[in-house]
Chain A
Amino acid sequence: MSYEVVGITVLWTFLFGYLIVASIDFGAGFFSYYSSITGTRHVIHAIINRYLSPVWEVTNVFLVFFFVGFIGFFPDTAYYYGTALLIPGSIAIVLLAVRGAYYAFNHYGSRSKKIYTLMYGASGLLIPAALSTVLTISEGGYIKVGEDGKVVFLARELFTSSYSWAVVLLALVSVLYISAMFLSFYAHKAGDFPAFQVVRKYALAWSLPTIISSLLVFFAIHSHNREHFNNMLDRSWMFALSFVFFLIAVYFVWKKTRLGLSFICVILQFAFAFYGYGSAHLPYILYPYLTIHDNFTSPSMAIALIVAFILGLLLLIPSLYLLMRLFLFNTSYVKGNTK
């Protein structure tokens, strides 16, 4: 495997990690708000908070890691995407900032306020929409590069394109689906059956829209970027597998058993779809201007980054394991017996 492929695989994996942990987080914020309107907040609030409190900071790092690594491996992307993403990127930053800060204010501060919950819930849905523009732009057609090399972002094209809205829809729906599936697993593990009943309903309700919007994006690519669509067809087995894992995951939630396995199937469902989409996109990072080959960093930097990455992982994996042991997989903590 060439350095480029190693680099993009590592980065794609981090983006995938972010997709999963951030979805749980964003969706939880929304459900927390939604339940306060529908009067079930007291039922699921404890479960959501017990999961989120120790991990809220870690979620953000996955994203930072992704974009810092991206600039490192593919410095030219900074030039193209930087100019194009000024507005959606800034909006995403502001939303992330409001969300992160107000979570902490609300949680560690002395009193919680309804307005914080609203901001927290709403931003959780807007952030995926803002961030998904990166994927949309990568398909090409929303950036014009002049002869002098100046990059112009075609905002109007982006906002009127049916493809970009299909992606936004998929982002929103899958956030809610992933989150509800995770919370079902978590509530079940905690033995909190009233909460489980509530989040299970959310999970089942969002499962069908997830598949429908995935199909929508699939066909939107067909009309927007035929080359990418054909590449995806070549990998149709990955998407088929993704669908199989979806069926298994929903089946277990429906049957109310083996919730842990069910959530693993959710991860696999998205992994196959995400890596299938990603590998079909290669070699382009920004169609048709940037490929992973002609804008790769110098070999010496690539080696340095990969070494740093491996050393970093040696540090991170045990730490993340410890975090999960203490909170996520610690039965007495999950059940609320340990503070």
Chain B
Amino acid sequence: MFNGYDPVVYSRMLTSLTLGFHIIYATIGVGVPLMIALAEWIGIKRNDPHYLLLARRWARGFVITVAVGVVTGTAIGLQLSLLWPSFMRVAGQSISLPLFLETFAFFFEAIFLGIYLYTWDRFKNRMTHFLLLIPVVIGSSASAFFITIVNAFMNYPVGFKLTDGVISDVNPIAAMLSPAMPTKVAHVLSSAYLTCAFILAALTAWKLLKGKDHVYYKKALKLTMVSAFIFMISTALIGDLSGKYLAKYQPEKLAAAEWHFDTAAKAPLVLGGVLTKDNEIKYGLEIPYGLSILAHSNPFAVVKGLNDFPEDERPPLWIHYLFDIKMGYVAFMVAVSLLFVIEMIRKRGNVYRRWLLFAIVAAAPIAMLTIEHGWIFSEVGRQPWILRGLMRTTEGATTSEHVDLMLWLFTLLYVGLGISSVRVLLKMFKNNHAEDELAAFGKEASERT
């Protein structure tokens, strides 16, 4: 793989690097506006300054993450053409509509975010300020929606004909409505909301662990954890649908993930294990009928195996580990959010138990890792194709001679951005305590009325 310079390998590395870094900030960009809106809305409805301050403080940190999200998003947008020119030549014909719409959504969000951040005290009616946030929420989710449509198309391209590299009969709307679209979009959005709820919950849980006991933190914890619980349910349900989608439309991905070689009924689900050279599974935990249930909701259903696909069209088998690790993370998040809700509704429950708070703090990085693992699983799972069934990844890459140099350049950039964004965020809240702000806030509010 590393015999000298190969633009394809370097293009793949650079694209993974950019996307891997971008989705951390992009996920925050999609989910946090919704949480801010929730907090501000509750704050206005209940006339509760705690929630209003919560929205304000989240928004303040959010700007920093947005900045990195915007600039890395610009990077990936340009890199698509710089690193994958042949692919974009084809994709440009058929899916430029969602790409184009994504920039509109982004535009919309950018305008209103700018207004929102600078008008906290501009309007007499608080509702006016809240309304400004709605386009931000719509814009951020819509841009995730459209860009995921592009990715769905790459997983299952429809709406055009490709003969000898030439595209014809393009139907832009049909290209957007790829069978992969509904589950992918829903899963991306729901898991972004979930991750952000956990991140914000973890920040609060951390404060509570450090001995803060202002009611502000307690309200924040309940709001974020109840949201996380709800998004957990929706994400899990959609995840199940994604499995069924794979069985029907991309069976090779599912088969590779589950090391399912021979097409068979009553297919078992394998957890863990290692694969020997002769494709035998050792030390795995088998759940009888599991895969058939996952794929078709029927324990006796036939699941297509990898041996039915030509060898050079199979995804790499190591995605099994990714899938298992991801499911492990999911199990942890389900447990944490479920335990929290149980403690909350139990008569003598206590949601501020130390072990539970620790678990919540741990859930945030785990949620982000789940996003990364899930994304790598999905992307590597469609290899060797860049357009599944139509164009191989090797055919899409640039032939330029300097991709390795660019890889170094961008690595440097992301390391710098990553470190400084975290430092700025830490500094921002370190010397600016919520309690002090609340005191000032309350005084201001009482002066106003």
A interface residues (Cβ-Cβ under 8 A, vs B): 53-58, 60-61, 63-65, 67-69, 71-76, 78-83, 85-87, 89-94, 96-98, 100-105, 108-111, 150-151, 153, 297-298, 300-301, 304-305, 308-309, 312, 315-316, 319-320, 322-323, 326-327, 338-339
Contact A82 B67, beta carbon cutoff 8 Å: no
Contact B78 A79, beta carbon cutoff 8 Å: no
Q: Which residues of B, 61-81, contact A by the 8 Å Cβ criterion?
A: 63-64, 66-68, 70-75, 77-79, 81
Contact A301 B112, beta carbon cutoff 8 Å: no
A272 CB to nearest chain B CB (Å): 27
Cβ of B424 < 8 Å from any Cβ of A? yes
Known: A68-B96, A339-B121. A153 touches B400 (CB 8 A): yes
| Selected contact of B110 from candidates A57, A93, A103, CB within 8 Å | A57
Cβ of B443 < 8 Å from any Cβ of A? no
**Nearest A residue (CB) for B92:** A75
Known: A104-B63, A300-B171. A54 touches B399 (CB 8 A): no
Fill in one digit per residue for B89-103: 1 if any A CB lies within 8 Å of its CB, else 0.
Answer: 111111011011111
Identify which of A53, A54, A94, A301 gathers the most chain B CB atoms within 10 Å of its CB: A301
The size of the chain B interface, using a CB distance under 8 A, is: 77
**Nearest A residue (CB) for B14:** A90
B interface residues (Cβ-Cβ under 8 A, vs A): 60, 63-64, 66-68, 70-75, 77-79, 81-86, 88-94, 96-97, 99-104, 106-108, 110-115, 117-122, 135, 167-168, 170-173, 398-400, 402-403, 405-406, 409-410, 413, 416-417, 420-421, 424, 427-428, 431-432
In the complex, what residues of B have CB within 8 A of residue A304's CB? Answer: 97, 172-173
In the complex, what residues of A have CB within 8 A of residue B89's CB? Answer: 75-76, 78-79
Contact A308 B72, beta carbon cutoff 8 Å: no
Contact A90 B88, beta carbon cutoff 8 Å: no
Known: A72-B96, A300-B172. A61 touches B103 (CB 8 A): yes
Q: How far is the CA of A153 from the CA of B70 in the complex (A)?
A: 29
The B contact surface, by secondary structure, is helix
In the complex, what residues of B have CB within 8 A of residue A105's CB? Answer: 64, 67, 420-421, 424
In the complex, what residues of B have CB within 8 A of residue A87's CB? Answer: 402, 405-406
Known: A94-B413, A108-B63. A339 touches B111 (CB 8 A): no
**Nearest A residue (CB) for B175:** A301
A138 CB to nearest chain B CB (Å): 15
Q: How far is the CA of A305 from the CA of B104 in the complex (A)?
A: 12
Contact B74 A93, beta carbon cutoff 8 Å: yes
**Nearest A residue (CB) for B432:** A110
Contact A81 B93, beta carbon cutoff 8 Å: no
Contact A54 B413, beta carbon cutoff 8 Å: no
Contact B74 A305, beta carbon cutoff 8 Å: no
In the complex, what residues of A have CB within 8 A of residue B172's CB? Answer: 300-301, 304-305
**Nearest A residue (CB) for B109:** A57
Q: How far is the CA of A64 from the CA of B113 in the complex (A)?
A: 18
In the complex, what residues of B have CB within 8 A of residue A79's CB? Answer: 85-86, 88-89
In the complex, what residues of B have CB within 8 A of residue A58's CB? Answer: 107, 110-111, 114
In the complex, what residues of A have CB within 8 A of residue B75's CB? Answer: 93, 97
Top 9 closest pairs, chain A to chain B, by CB: A72-B96, A75-B92, A82-B85, A104-B67, A78-B88, A97-B71, A304-B172, A54-B114, A57-B110
In the complex, what residues of A have CB within 8 A of residue B104's CB? Answer: 65, 308, 312, 315-316
Known: A67-B77, A71-B81. A308 touches B88 (CB 8 A): no
Contact B427 A68, beta carbon cutoff 8 Å: no
In the complex, what residues of B have CB within 8 A of residue A323's CB? Answer: 111, 114-115
B400 CB to nearest chain A CB (Å): 5
Contact B170 A83, beta carbon cutoff 8 Å: no
A selection of 27 A-B contacts at a CB cut-off of 8 Å is: A54-B118, A57-B66, A57-B70, A58-B110, A58-B111, A61-B110, A64-B103, A67-B81, A69-B103, A75-B90, A83-B399, A85-B82, A86-B398, A89-B82, A94-B409, A94-B413, A97-B74, A97-B413, A105-B424, A108-B424, A150-B399, A297-B92, A304-B97, A304-B172, A316-B108, A320-B111, A327-B115
The A contact surface, by secondary structure, is helix
Contact A297 B118, beta carbon cutoff 8 Å: no
In the complex, what residues of B have CB within 8 A of residue A96's CB? Answer: 71, 74
Q: How far is the CA of A105 from the CA of B103 in the complex (A)?
A: 24
Q: How far is the CA of A63 from the CA of B114 in the complex (A)?
A: 18
Q: How far is the CA of A60 from the CA of B77 in the complex (A)?
A: 12
Identify which of B81, B93, B120 gathers the most chain A CB atoms within 10 Å of its CB: B81
In the complex, what residues of A have CB within 8 A of residue B120's CB? Answer: 339
**Nearest B residue (CB) for A63:** B74
Contact B70 A60, beta carbon cutoff 8 Å: yes
Contact A301 B82, beta carbon cutoff 8 Å: no
Identify which of B78, B108, B417, B420 gathers the most chain A CB atoms within 10 Å of its CB: B78
Contact A72 B413, beta carbon cutoff 8 Å: no
Q: How far is the CA of A145 from the CA of B355 in the complex (A)?
A: 64
Contact A97 B72, beta carbon cutoff 8 Å: yes
**Nearest B residue (CB) for A90:** B406
In the complex, what residues of B have CB within 8 A of residue A150's CB? Answer: 399
**Nearest B residue (CB) for A75:** B92
| Selected contact of A71 from candidates B92, B108, B117, B417, CB within 8 Å | B92
Contact B108 A315, beta carbon cutoff 8 Å: yes
In the complex, what residues of A have CB within 8 A of residue B171's CB? Answer: 300
Known: A87-B402, A100-B70. A53 touches B96 (CB 8 A): no
A287 CB to nearest chain B CB (Å): 19
**Nearest A residue (CB) for B172:** A304
Contact B78 A89, beta carbon cutoff 8 Å: yes
In the complex, what residues of B have CB within 8 A of residue A108's CB? Answer: 60, 63-64, 67, 424, 428
Known: A72-B99, A108-B64, A297-B96. A100 touches B108 (CB 8 A): no
Q: A75-B89, A309-B100 are in contact. List 7 more A-B contacts (CB 8 A).
A: A69-B96, A87-B405, A101-B417, A301-B93, A304-B97, A315-B104, A326-B115
A191 CB to nearest chain B CB (Å): 20
Contact A86 B108, beta carbon cutoff 8 Å: no
Q: How far is the CA of A61 from the CA of B111 in the complex (A)?
A: 10
Contact A86 B403, beta carbon cutoff 8 Å: yes
In the complex, what residues of A have CB within 8 A of residue B82's CB? Answer: 82, 85-86, 89-90
Q: How far is the CA of A298 from the CA of B107 in the complex (A)?
A: 26
In the complex, what residues of B have CB within 8 A of residue A92's CB? Answer: 78
Contact B398 A322, beta carbon cutoff 8 Å: no
